[in-house]
C-alpha cells in the first residue's frame, strides 16, 4: 500500500482517502473519497492532518482514521 507521507503534505492540497477499516481488508462498502488538507494537529504526541471532505460536506476527519493516497490507482487497489 503506497500511502502519502504526512511530511510531504501542504495546506490546501487535495488527496484521496480510504477509511482504515476498509483498506486492504477486502470488506464490502469501502469508498475512495477526495479531501483537502485543512491543518495539522498534535494528537498525543503524533502529528496528524485534519482533512475536509470535498463536495459540499463540512465533515472533518483526521489521518488517525483515514489513509491518504496520491493516485486513484493506489486508492482503488486498497479497497479491492
Helix intervals (H) in the chain:
72-79
The 10s digit of each residue's pLDDT in 51-79 is 999 987 788 999 989 999 999 999 998 89
48 domain residue, yes or no: yes
- Could you tell me which residue, 30 or 24, shows the higher pLDDT? 30
40 domain residue, yes or no: yes
11 domain residue, yes or no: yes
1 domain residue, yes or no: no
What pTM was computed for the model? 0.84
Pairwise CA distance, residues 10 & 30, whole Å: 26
Domain boundaries, position 55: 6-79
Pairwise CA distance, residues 45 & 3, whole Å: 21
Instruction: Indicate whether 3 pLDDT > 90.
Output: no
Closest CA relative to residue 67, chosen from 29, 26, 35, 39: 35
Amino acid at each position: 500500500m503506497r500511502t502519502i507521507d504526512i511530511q510531504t503534505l501542504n495546506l490546501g492540497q487535495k488527496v484521496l482517502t480510504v477509511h482504515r477499516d476498509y483498506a486492504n481488508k477486502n470488506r464490502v462498502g469501502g469508498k475512495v473519497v477526495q479531501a483537502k488538507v485543512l491543518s495539522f494537529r498534535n494528537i498525543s504526541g503524533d502529528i496528524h492532518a485534519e482533512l475536509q471532505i470535498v463536495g459540499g460536506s463540512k465533515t472533518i476527519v483526521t489521518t488517525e482514521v483515514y489513509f491518504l493516497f496520491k493516485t486513484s490507482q493506489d486508492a482503488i487497489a486498497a479497497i479491492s
